[in-house]
Every structure is written in C-alpha cells, then in structure tokens.
Amino acid sequence: METITYTVRPGNTLYAIAQFFGTSVRAIAQANGLRPPYTIYPGQELLIPTKELGSPRYYVVRPGDTLVSIADRYGLELEDLLNLNSFENPNIIYPGQIIRLTR
C-alpha cells in the first residue's frame, strides 16, 4: 500500500480527508497512531494510505506548475481537473497542494 503525506488545513476533518483520498478514517487513524476522538489540527502532517493504481489518482503541485501544464502532462482536459477539485481560485495553485486527477 502506498502513502501520501498530507498537511491538515484549517477546516479539515478526518472524515473529509478520508473521503477525498478514497480511504477510511480508521485506515488514516491506524497509519498515524491516532486514538479516539481522532483530534487533528492545522499544520499536522498525516500519512494517508492509498491503493496502488496503474495511473496516479493525485498529483502534488511543484514550483512552476499550472493547471494547464498538469492537465497536459496527464492527458486530461482542464475542465476535468476543475470538476474533480474544489479550487477557491483556479488561477492560483501552490507547491505542495494535492490535486485529484481521477475519481
């Protein structure tokens, strides 16, 4: 099983993080040694267990990336990236941001 390191952002819940990455609260809690009530806080780094897939489901933004360059790299339409992700402003992405590439 692969893992992704995710930094908790304000407003995140363990349930929402699990839903986004297609895993379970229990799997994340076990990977990080969390105990009920599973308290997380902004800035905390979590290991997110994910299944190995033929093509990546997520992309971690690197300096210089744009949504157009990411879409081109993975053979996606820009509109698909926009529909898969909830960008506050799609013109602004930042290094370390995790972008969903597939459902």
Q: What is the pLDDT of residues 40-82, one digit of tens each?
A: 999 999 999 877 545 568 888 888 999 999 998 888 899 999 9
Residue 14, classed as helix, strand or coil, is: helix
Name the residue among 57, 54, 60, 51 with its Cα closest to residue 93.
60
- pLDDT band per the 50, 70, 90 thresholds, residue 20: confident
Say if residue 94's pLDDT is above 80: yes
pTM for this entry: 0.59
pLDDT of the residue at 2: 76
Taken in order of first residue, the domains within the chain and their CATH numbers are: 2-50 (3.10.350.10), 58-100 (3.10.350.10)
Say if residue 103's pLDDT is above 80: no
